[in-house]
Amino acid sequence: MAIQRKPKTTPAAQAAAVDAFVSGAPDAAHAAPTAGAYNKGVAKGNKRQISLTIAPDLLRRVDEIAKRTGQGRAGIINMAIYRAIEGDVFK
């Protein structure tokens, strides 16, 4: 295997690479969100993370359902919220 020289880079290409690296950091300033974006909570992929307090008895029941169905706690809570909103609970 032959030893190769380092390829020459232009200052503009190097500056663009540095800017791309810095802007890719999680704490980098991001562009303004679109008009339809919802910014409550912490972004986690396509979802938003929120803090939730729940009564111990209700949490125990959620955990029992999650264990019985093989779902995660968050999945059960998401499904219950979705069914409550899409169903007739709040209409």
Task: Compute the distance between CA of residue 56 and CA of residue 80 in angstroms, rounded to an integer.
Answer: 17
Task: Compute the distance between CA of residue 41 and CA of residue 34 in angstroms, rounded to an integer.
Answer: 16
55/19: higher pLDDT: 55
Domains of the chain with CATH codes: 50-91 (1.10.1220)
Residues 6+ apart with CB under 8 A from 39: 33
Task: Compute the distance between CA of residue 75 and CA of residue 52 in angstroms, rounded to an integer.
Answer: 14
The model's pTM is 0.56
Task: Compute the distance between CA of residue 16 and CA of residue 1 in angstroms, rounded to an integer.
Answer: 31
Task: Compute the distance between CA of residue 55 and CA of residue 29 in angstroms, rounded to an integer.
Answer: 38
Q: Per-residue pLDDT tens for 33-82?
A: 566 777 888 888 888 899 999 999 999 999 999 999 999 999 999 999 99
